[in-house]
């Protein structure tokens, strides 16, 4: 299916101001009756899954790189598993949250510009994002260099802190791969070029799995081998995607490097910062879950069990991140093209679809609840702890499948700053204090921490659904037009010509 054929683009040369603001041309007709709803649901589902399917596959492959390294580490030793878990969750998780968040500003701008026909600006936006993210990565470098004392400072055990700190030093190349990869991903997503990302990620995953087994277990290099393979896998994806872009397959979207990428950087930084705050607060929320487990009695077992659960949850969340990417493209493209009713209906479709997928995952987990813990750890004590957390994990599979999809709506519409405030209130003022009270004061342990934090996610998801329901989508289409003019106005376009 070619989405460009199904949703004709509105360019600056062939759209009048009146037509753009009314949003009538090619917008979805008002839905009349249940039969009409299912017909339109089927049409929009095809468009959504055209994007979401490859995006989910790509997300699963990319997440699985770290998860497979963590899985092999579990067969090397419990300390190795704890070290990889803490490095992935705390150090790399912190970095990923900032860089992915900063890069998500590109999702709003590229998606709405593509919908409005401002194709030439996509490459410039990507270059601006590269500049900002590489500078951000340099600022974050001390986090990797001084990971051991930082982990000791926040109360992690000495053994875990030293092992995770050594792992962090080896993972510095991954930090800069993040900075290069996320702008590329948003650039390609806005153009619905998802399949190439899926193919590259699949090849990277196959190679990563084989070489991780070879270096970590066969050659007995342990964490050093895992870190080497993980770094190379991420840079393989970056280089392969850049070759694809430079080969001319993106047409007008990439016309080479331009000095225009260095103009209006501060305005781009502000939008990127708002995006980073929004997504960081979500990523760090689950990072904090593993961190707090490190303060419990028998911390090594608690961290290992919880890291296995978050590992599985992370794989499942990749499906919702695929929905996140797909709906952000659909909403931003349709708002940029002045199709507010279509944008609104895309939200309905993605929420229902994400919920059903989450339920499916929870059912599968229930069926294999006796078998899956042994895949991640040889320790019977760790397996028993994981099994006891299975009901909570099943609930999370449903809730945390819907929440990231709703965040994609916020990114597509450009609501990052508003959602950031909601995340602060629901996660850090409500969820974490409740989790700490249940986990430590009520002596519920890991279960109490997780229940409290899951409650914060439920509240945040409910608020996002209410916001989407109350939104004036006609107004959002008008605001998208204003945003496009601000970031790719006549002066800037003329300068490029």
In a domain, 47, yes or no: yes
Average pLDDT of 156-180? 92
Closest CA to 339 of 29, 21, 1, 27: 27
| Residue given tokens 């095809």 in the structure block | 46
Average pLDDT of 166-193? 92
Query: Which residues fall within 8 angstroms of residue 491, CB to CB, at 6 or more apart?
Result: none
Contact 184, 126 (CB under 8 A): yes
Angle 209-210-216 (CA atoms, 0-180°, nearest 5)? 85
In angstroms and rounded to an integer, the radius of gyration of the C-alpha atoms of the chain is 22
In a domain, 317, yes or no: yes
**Hey, what are 7's tokens?**
């949703």
What total number of domains does the chain contain? 1
Neighbours of 45 (CB within 10 A): 16
Average pLDDT of 384-410? 85
Range of the domain at 200: 6-496
For the chain, what is the mean pLDDT? 82
20/164 Cα distance (integer angstroms): 53
Contact 91, 235 (CB under 8 A): no
pLDDT tens across 201-234, in order?
999 999 999 999 999 988 888 889 999 999 999 9
- Angle at which helices 340-367 and 299-336 pack, to 10 degrees? 160
Residues in the chain: 497
Average pLDDT of 453-476? 88
pLDDT tens across 22-44, in order?
445 567 777 777 888 888 888 88
Residue 89 scores a pLDDT above 60: yes
Three-class secondary structure of residue 258 per DSSP:
coil
Residue 118 scores a pLDDT above 90: no
pLDDT value of position 269:
78
pLDDT tens across 133-150, in order?
999 999 999 999 999 999
**Hey, what are 46's tokens?**
């095809």
Residue 303 buriedness (CB in 10 A; 0-12 / 13-18 / 19+) = buried
pLDDT value of position 474:
84
pLDDT value of position 201:
95
Name the more confident of 106 and 169: 169
In a domain, 1, yes or no: no
In a domain, 341, yes or no: yes
Assign 7 a pLDDT band (cuts: 50, 70, 90): very low
Assign 13 a pLDDT band (cuts: 50, 70, 90): very low
pLDDT value of position 26:
65
Name the DSSP letter for residue 434.
H
Percent of all residues in the chain with a pLDDT value above 70, rounded to a whole number: 90
| Residue given tokens 């991420």 in the structure block | 234
């Amino acid at each position: 299916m070619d989405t460009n054929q199904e949703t004709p683009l509105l360019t600056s040369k062939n759209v009048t101001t009146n037509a753009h603001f009314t949003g009538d041309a090619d917008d979805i007709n008002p839905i009349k009756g249940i039969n009409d709803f299912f017909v339109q649901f089927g049409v929009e589902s095809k468009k959504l899954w055209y994007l979401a399917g490859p995006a989910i596959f790509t997300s699963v492959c990319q997440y699985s790189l770290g998860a497979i390294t963590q899985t092999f580490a579990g067969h090397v030793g419990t300390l190795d598993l704890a070290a990889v878990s803490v490095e992935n969750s705390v150090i790399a998780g912190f970095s990923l949250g900032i860089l992915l968040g900063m890069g998500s500003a590109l999702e709003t701008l590229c998606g709405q510009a593509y919908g409005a026909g401002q194709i030439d600006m996509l490459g410039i936006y990507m270059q601006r994002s590269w500049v900002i993210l590489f500078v951000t990565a340099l600022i974050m470098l001390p986090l990797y260099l001084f990971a051991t004392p930082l982990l000791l400072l926040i109360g992690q055990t000495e053994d875990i802190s030293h092992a995770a700190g050594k792992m962090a030093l080896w993972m510095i190349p991954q930090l800069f791969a993040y900075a290069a990869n996320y702008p590329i991903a948003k650039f390609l997503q806005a153009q619905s070029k998802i399949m190439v990302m899926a193919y590259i990620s699949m090849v990277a995953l196959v190679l990563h799995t084989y070489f991780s087994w070879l270096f970590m277990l066969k050659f007995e290099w342990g964490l050093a081998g895992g870190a080497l393979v993980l770094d190379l896998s991420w840079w393989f994806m970056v280089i392969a995607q850049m070759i694809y872009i430079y080969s001319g397959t993106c047409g007008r979207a990439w016309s080479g490097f331009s000095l225009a990428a260095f103009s209006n950087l501060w305005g781009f930084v502000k939008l990127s910062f708002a995006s980073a705050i929004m997504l960081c607060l979500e990523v760090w929320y689950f990072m904090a879950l593993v961190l707090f487990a490190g303060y419990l009695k028998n911390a090594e077992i608690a961290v290992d069990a919880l890291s296995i659960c978050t590992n599985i949850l992370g794989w499942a969340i990749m499906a919702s991140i695929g929905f996140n990417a797909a709906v952000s493209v659909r909403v931003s493209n349709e708002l940029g093209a002045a199709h507010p009713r279509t944008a609104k209906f895309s939200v309905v479709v993605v929420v229902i679809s994400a919920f059903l997928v989450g339920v499916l995952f929870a059912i599968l987990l229930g069926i294999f609840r006796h078998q899956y813990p042994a895949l991640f750890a040889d320790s019977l004590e760790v397996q028993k702890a994981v099994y006891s957390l299975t009901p909570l994990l099943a609930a999370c599979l449903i809730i945390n499948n819907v929440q990231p999809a709703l965040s994609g709506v916020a990114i597509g519409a450009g609501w990052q700053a508003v959602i950031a405030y909601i995340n602060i209130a629901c996660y850090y003022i409500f969820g974490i204090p409740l989790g700490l009270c249940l986990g430590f004061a009520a002596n519920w342990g890991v279960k109490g921490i997780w229940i409290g934090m899951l409650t914060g996610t439920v509240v945040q998801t409910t608020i996002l659904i209410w916001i989407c329901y109350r939104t004036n989508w006609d107004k959002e289409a008008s605001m998208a037009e204003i945003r496009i003019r601000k970031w790719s106005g006549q002066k800037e376009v003329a300068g490029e010509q």
